[in-house]
Structure 1
Amino acid sequence: MSLTDKAIKQIRELIGSGALPPGSKLPPEQDLAAQLGLSRNLAREAVKALAVARVLEVRQGDGTYVTSLQPSLLLEGLGGAVELLQGDAGALLDLMEVRRLLEPVATALAATRVSDADLAEVKRHLDAMRDARDDVEQLNLHDAAFHRAVVSATGNETLLTILEGISGRTLRARVWRGLVDAQASGRTLAKHEAIFEALAARDASLGQAAALLHVNNTERWLRQHLESTNSVRDETPVIRKAEDRQAS
């Protein structure tokens, strides 16, 4: 463990013990360093690292504060970490597996909690998907928004943040699929319509089954495609090209 890591651990222990509760202000850098027996440089580096991790918030001209430490805030960095898993077939399949484990259960929970307003939001994205069925990029954007609206209906911000964190990578898989499989849009719409109908019926079992079928279908296709190419590296230029078009 490096000296910086040890400094980070010491500050985390102060927070974990309650000595620095959420929202509290840290002592000035010099005092914090003396309290922990650190050099000012080490204390500064530890604070910077914890700020990146959303544990601390540096307010220019005011000082450094402990954040709310809410799970949704602390897990925001998950998406950035996931995006670093480039060119790794195993990591991509692992993420799809996590999505398969979580999303059907989240959909079932949403079916028991969905409000009329939530349902209208889900339907709005479903309608947009129908309108964009011949535009792969727009279809995938509304696909992601559809799933976000479904999970948002659970009211569970932690669950939403986790699934949002892995959706960037799995969204690439959906873009890739749309570009190489011209029939994907029709099947995608049918799966999403089944999920919406389950939510509208407030049927948790049906919602879970519909979401599982949808995610499992995508995962199975991806596994087969990767096995046929024996490499995920060919994905990168195709997906990057699609993402560049989305950003333009």
Structure 2
Amino acid sequence: MAVTGEAIATIKAMIVSGELKPGDRLPPEKELSERLGLSRNSLREAVKSLEIIRVLDVRRGDGTYVTSLEPRLLLEALAFVVDLHDDSSVLEIFEVRGVLEPFAAARAALVITEDQLRALSQSIASVDAAAPIESLVEHDLEFHRLISEAGGNAYLSSLIEGMSSATVRARIWRGITQDGATARTLSEHEAIVAALASGDPERAGAAVRSHVEGIDSWLRAAL
């Protein structure tokens, strides 16, 4: 296993250094194993591991390529792990959201465009207090995604989206069991848009923090 780890580290170093770039094809297995001083079996295990986490793309009969290395692609493995959460670990997910999403909103407040603000307002207008819970949850996911994307950090946005999708059950549960959940959510979203429009990062971060912590507090009481 140590030898396989060494092979993974070596391939990673080749990518980090720029020797291998997104879309590049790796040298043939025999050539690469000899160059790295590794057995072909160790190299195969390393390639298999890097394929699982979407760093490499093994194309049968064609060769092995470095993927696009886009944040969304690389964070798929994390999203898979998050999807396996249980009702207690979802509390930990909300704790992490309570740290990351206010930061993302603060970033967004400094650079958000009029078009992006308009998209947020349109998302709010797409649902009302009488809308089905599923529609509210769909809006909520889109609303938070738009904010994180507006901040301009693709890794942060992908990380937040991966965690956010894992809390869908909790959001639906809240919508069904808590009186006024839809109206409260929409009101808080409007306050967040106003904070973003003000260009004040502290105000935007505080508005999102209050929103996420409100859900977290309800969930803790419900559990």
Q: 1:218 aligns with which of 215, 218, 222?
A: 215
Q: Do residues 157 (structure 1) and 154 (structure 2) align?
A: yes
Cα distance in structure 1, aligned partners of 2:160 and 2:81: 13
Q: Match of 2:65, SS?
A: strand
What is the Cα deviation at residue 214 of structure 1? 0.4
Which residue does the alignment assign to 2:191?
Answer: 194
Match of 1:99 in 2: 97
CA RMSD of aligned residues (A): 2.3
Q: CA deviation at 1:115?
A: 0.9
Q: Could you list the runs of 5+ residues in structure 1 that have no partner in the other structure? A: 227-248
Whether the aligned pair in 2 keeps the contact of 1:108 and 1:207 (CA below 8 Å) is: yes
Distance (whole Å) between structure 2 residues aligned to residue 19 and residue 150 of structure 1: 35
User: TM-score under structure 1 normalisation?
Assistant: 0.79
Give the equivalent residue in structure 1 for 2:51. 51
Deviation (angstroms), 1:177: 1.1
2:206 is aligned, of 202, 206, 209, to 209
- Rounded to whole Å, the distance in 2 between the matches of 1:197 and 1:221 is 24
Deviations 1:13-64 (A, max 9, x none): 4434554344432111222233334443442332122122121123454322
Is the Cα–Cα contact under 8 Å of residues 4 and 45 in structure 1 kept in the other structure?
Answer: yes
**Secondary structure of the corresponding residue to residue 103 of structure 1:** helix
Partners of 1:127 and 1:55 in 2: CA distance: 40
Q: Kindly tell me: are residues 26 and 82 of structure 1, through their superposed partners in 2, closer, same or farther at Cα, counting changes over 3 Å?
A: same
Determine helix, strand or coil for the equivalent of 1:20.
coil
Structure 1 residues 74-113: aligned runs within 5 Å:
74-85=74-85, 87=86, 89=88, 91-113=89-111
Checking the alignment, whether the CA contact within 8 Å between 1:129 and 1:143 is kept in structure 2 is: no
Task: Could you tell me which runs of 5 or more consecutive residues in structure 2 were left unpaired when the two chains were aligned.
Answer: none
- TM-score normalized by structure 2? 0.87
Are residues 15 and 204 of structure 1, via their aligned partners in 2, closer, same or farther at CA, if it must alter by over 3 Å?
Answer: closer
Q: What are the within-5 Å matches in structure 2 for residues 1-248 of structure 1?
A: 1=1, 4-85=4-85, 87=86, 89=88, 91-130=89-128, 133-226=130-223
Secondary structure of 1:155's aligned partner: coil
Deviation at 1:200, TM superposition (A): 2.8
2:58 counterpart SS class: strand
Counterpart residue identity of residue 78, structure 1 = L
Shift of 1:210: 1.3
Could you tell me how far 1:219 is from its partner in structure 2?
Answer: 0.7
Separation in 2, partners of 1:53, 1:154: 26
Q: What is the total number of aligned residue pairs between the two structures?
A: 223
In percent, how many aligned pairs have the same letter? 47
Quick one: structure 1 residues 105 and 14, their matched pair in 2 at CA, closer, same or farther if it must change by over 3 Å? closer
Once structures 1 and 2 are overlaid, which stretch shifts more, 179-188 or 59-68? 59-68
Tell me how far 1:164 sits from its aligned partner: 0.7
For residue 157 of structure 1, report the CA deviation from its aligned partner: 0.8
Query: How many Å apart are 1:199 and its aligned residue?
Result: 2.2
Residues 55-96 of structure 1 deviation map (CA, whole Å, 9 limit, x = unaligned): 1123454322223434444223321121122x251x222211
